[in-house]
Amino acid sequence: MGPTTQKVAQATMPIFPHKPVNISRTDDGFSLLEMLVVLAIMGLMLSLVGARLSQTLDSARFARTSQANLAKITDFRAEALLKRKALFVISPTTTKLEVRNIPRDSLRLFPFDDSFDVKGDIIKISPSGLCSGGRITVKNKTGRKAVYDLEPPNCTPKRVATP
């Protein structure tokens, strides 16, 4: 056989030449130390987010429970209408001196359970169901506090911003 030319050599070369695979590359992927640092940072972030999320859920639960209890004042309005008699909604901290001229069967407690401390004005509901309005302060056992204005004539609760 004679000398091979470049054209013949190119014609006999495979289309997909075989490239050797180097298995022991040191520049690919992350090192163990880098992975540990990233996992530590992610753990710190999750702990901060988890604590904040817990506070947010507690705050939302407190607000929802407070407003649900305040909405029960509409039951007192309905009772006043049905019985055609004035009702007075008081807090557990109302003194006997403040209610000395009000018949006992006309007194109603703010509709909160024992897990709340409630202080506020005496709210009068007329026989026609109209509300005099007033302000109440609600505080739970963990120290969360909210102030509500009960706006006349329907005793609509509006939360007041507190510092």
Question: CATH classification of 39-160 is 3.30.310, yes or no?
Answer: no
Average pLDDT value for residue range 110-134: 88
43-62: average pLDDT: 83
Residue range 150-160, pLDDT digits in tens:
998 888 889 88
Q: CA gyration radius for the chain?
A: 37
- Judged by DSSP in three states, 66 sits in helix
Q: What is the pTM of this model?
A: 0.62
For 100-112, write each residue's pLDDT tens digit. 999 999 999 888 8
Which residue in 55, 47, 50 sits closest to 142, CA to CA?
55
Torsions phi, psi of 2, nearest 5?
A: -95, -175
Give start and end residues of each alpha helix (H) in the chain. 6-12, 32-71, 73-83
What are the tens digits of pLDDT across the range 10-52? 566 666 666 666 666 566 678 889 899 999 999 988 888 877 8
Instruction: Determine the pLDDT at residue 7.
Output: 61
CB of 110 closer than 8 Å to CB of 120 = yes
Rounded to 10 degrees, the C-alpha dihedral 59/109/157/140 comes to -10
- Per cent of the chain over pLDDT 70 is 82
CA-closest candidate to residue 63, choices 154, 155, 148, 150 = 148
Q: What residue segments make up the domains of the chain, in order of their start?
A: 39-160
